[in-house]
């Protein structure tokens, strides 16, 4: 198993203006010491409520924003501290698929030109045959030659996501970071896009970091899952182990939020109450303690480190062996 991406102790704090006029600026720890590996050919799911820092991680990995500290090694090369000139050829190997493809597609460009552009920018095609290559990519994602000369507004949400995927694939990346790629789509279209992503992974040997707030989607897509809460990873293991027996109460609550066919099974549910706390002022000790039904005094003062609780199953919880009593299903 080759490691394509190695992330160690990644940190990013934003300084935000307070809400009231004259209020002091607040330091928001968006990513607070995150470490994980991504193996070649696998799909790692990064899951958590909105605001937990998962999209910030995506941007840090691509160096769209600069980390405060930590290490990101991609294919053996350290990206943190690398000059933009050194970074440019590596960016080709790391592509992103966005939640809302429409906002990332130039409305004045024909679809064939949108897909052709990265081929030309990175010198992967010449002007004579770039159109043929772009059309072949459109075929790969399930669009037809007839659609090549249309504009983005003439397509449905699912088709626009296919265009975004074709553009990402154009530069033959090794790693694709998919940030909520199906959240904005109708339920009926989601399965099609997920199937497409899985087919392309097999065809092109892609490695995916799949970001989602929905464990229901992650289950169908990912080999391993990292669960995030307030800027930290609180559980990390294989998808199979996570869904069979979570070791963190937050994961248990997220799993209980996934709709089940039999509502009668809901009586012992752990339901999350309240909003995710502000990362500008996180709770003391374990950040999850105000929402956690397993919490005790220790949890209010001591932050639990991410530890291996079972072979290959990591969780940050003082009482992880007790987790499961609210589990549905
Ligand atoms: Fe809950 Fe305590 Fe575990 Fe945190 S450490 S998840 S508060 S039981």
Residue 63 lies in a domain: yes
Ligand 1, pocket-test mutation among 251, 286, 291, most atoms within 8 A of CB: 286
Interior CA angle at 56 toward 117 and 177, to 5°? 45
Mark whether 82 and 210 lie in a shared domain: yes
- The pLDDT tens digits of the residues spanning 48-62 come to 988 889 999 999 999
Could you tell me the distance, in angstroms and rounded to a whole number, from the CA of residue 318 to the centre of ligand 1?
6
User: What atom of ligand 1 comes closest to residue 293's alpha carbon?
Assistant: 1
CA distance 138 to 216: 29
pTM for the predicted model, two decimal places? 0.91
User: What atom of ligand 1 comes closest to residue 234's alpha carbon?
Assistant: 6
Mark whether 79 and 213 lie in a shared domain: yes
Does residue 29 have its Cβ closer than 6 Å to ligand 1? no
Does residue 282 have its Cβ closer than 6 Å to ligand 1? no
CA distances from 89 to 84, 124, 130, 170 (A): 9, 12, 20, 14
| Average of per-residue pLDDT across 232-257 | 94
Residue 296 lies in a domain: yes
- The pLDDT tens digits of the residues spanning 78-114 come to 999 999 999 988 989 999 998 877 788 899 999 999 9
* CB distance 79 to 63 below 8 Å: yes
Domain that holds residue 245: 3-93+173-322
* CB distance 26 to 150 below 8 Å: no
Residue 153 lies in a domain: yes
Mark whether 197 and 302 lie in a shared domain: yes
Indicate the pLDDT class of residue 324, thresholds 50, 70 and 90. confident
* CB distance 174 to 206 below 8 Å: yes
Ligand 1, pocket-test mutation among 317, 322, 324, most atoms within 8 A of CB: 317
Nearest CA to 231 out of 70, 10, 25, 45 is that of 10
Domain boundary at 171, 190, 225, which? Answer: 171
Polymer length of the chain: 329
Mark whether 11 and 87 lie in a shared domain: yes
Mark whether 121 and 240 lie in a shared domain: no
Nearest CA to 66 out of 52, 51, 86, 83 is that of 83
State residue 261's pLDDT score: 60
Mark whether 82 and 200 lie in a shared domain: yes
* CB distance 321 to 307 below 8 Å: no
Count of structural domains within the chain: 2
Does residue 319 have its Cβ closer than 6 Å to ligand 1? yes
Mark whether 85 and 230 lie in a shared domain: yes
Mark whether 269 and 302 lie in a shared domain: yes
Mark whether 69 and 187 lie in a shared domain: yes
Specify the DSSP class assigned to residue 53.
S
Does residue 317 have its Cβ closer than 6 Å to ligand 1? yes
Does residue 141 have its Cβ closer than 6 Å to ligand 1? no
Ligand 1, pocket-test mutation among 229, 294, 307, most atoms within 8 A of CB: 294
CA distance 286 to 51: 17
Residue 251 lies in a domain: yes
Whichever domain contains 313, its CATH number is 3.40.50.300
| Placement of tokens 């293991």 in the chain | 237
* CB distance 226 to 233 below 8 Å: yes
Mark whether 63 and 212 lie in a shared domain: yes
Mark whether 262 and 213 lie in a shared domain: yes
State residue 281's pLDDT score: 85
Does residue 318 have its Cβ closer than 6 Å to ligand 1? yes
Residue 82 lies in a domain: yes
User: What atom of ligand 1 comes closest to residue 322's alpha carbon?
Assistant: 8
């Amino acid at each position: 198993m080759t490691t394509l991406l190695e992330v160690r102790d990644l940190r990013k704090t934003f300084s935000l203006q307070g809400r009231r006029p004259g209020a002091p600026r607040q330091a928001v720890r968006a990513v607070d010491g995150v470490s994980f590996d991504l193996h070649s050919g696998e799909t790692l799911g990064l899951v958590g409520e909105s605001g937990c820092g998962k999209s910030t991680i995506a941007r840090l990995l691509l160096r769209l924003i600069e980390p405060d500290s930590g290490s990101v090694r991609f294919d053996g090369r350290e990206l943190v501290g690398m000059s933009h000139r050194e970074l440019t050829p590596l960016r080709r190997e790391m592509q992103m698929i966005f939640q809302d493809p429409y906002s990332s597609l130039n409305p004045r460009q024909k679809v064939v030109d949108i897909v052709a552009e990265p081929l030309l920018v990175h010198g992967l095609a010449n002007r004579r045959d770039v159109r043929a290559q772009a059309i072949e990519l459109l075929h790969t994602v399930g669009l037809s030659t007839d659609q090549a000369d249309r504009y983005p507004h003439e397509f449905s949400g699912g088709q626009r996501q296919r265009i975004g995927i074709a553009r990402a694939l154009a530069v033959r990346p090794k790693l694709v970071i998919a940030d909520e790629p199906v959240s904005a789509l109708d339920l009926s279209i989601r399965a099609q896009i997920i199937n497409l992503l899985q087919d392309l992974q097999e065809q092109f040997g892609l490695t995916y970091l799949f970001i989602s707030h929905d464990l229901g989607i992650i289950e169908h897509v990912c080999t391993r899952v990292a669960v995030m809460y307030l800027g930290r990873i609180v559980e990390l293991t294989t998808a199979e182990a996570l869904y069979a027996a979570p070791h963190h109460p937050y994961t248990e609550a997220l799993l209980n939020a996934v709709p089940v066919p039999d509502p009668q099974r809901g009586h012992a549910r752990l339901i999350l109450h309240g909003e995710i706390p502000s990362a500008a002022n996180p709770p003391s000790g374990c950040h999850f303690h105000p929402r956690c039904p397993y919490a005790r005094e220790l949890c209010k003062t001591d932050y639990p480190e991410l530890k291996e609780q079972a072979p290959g199953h990591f969780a940050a919880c003082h009482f992880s062996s007790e987790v499961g009593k609210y589990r549905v299903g």
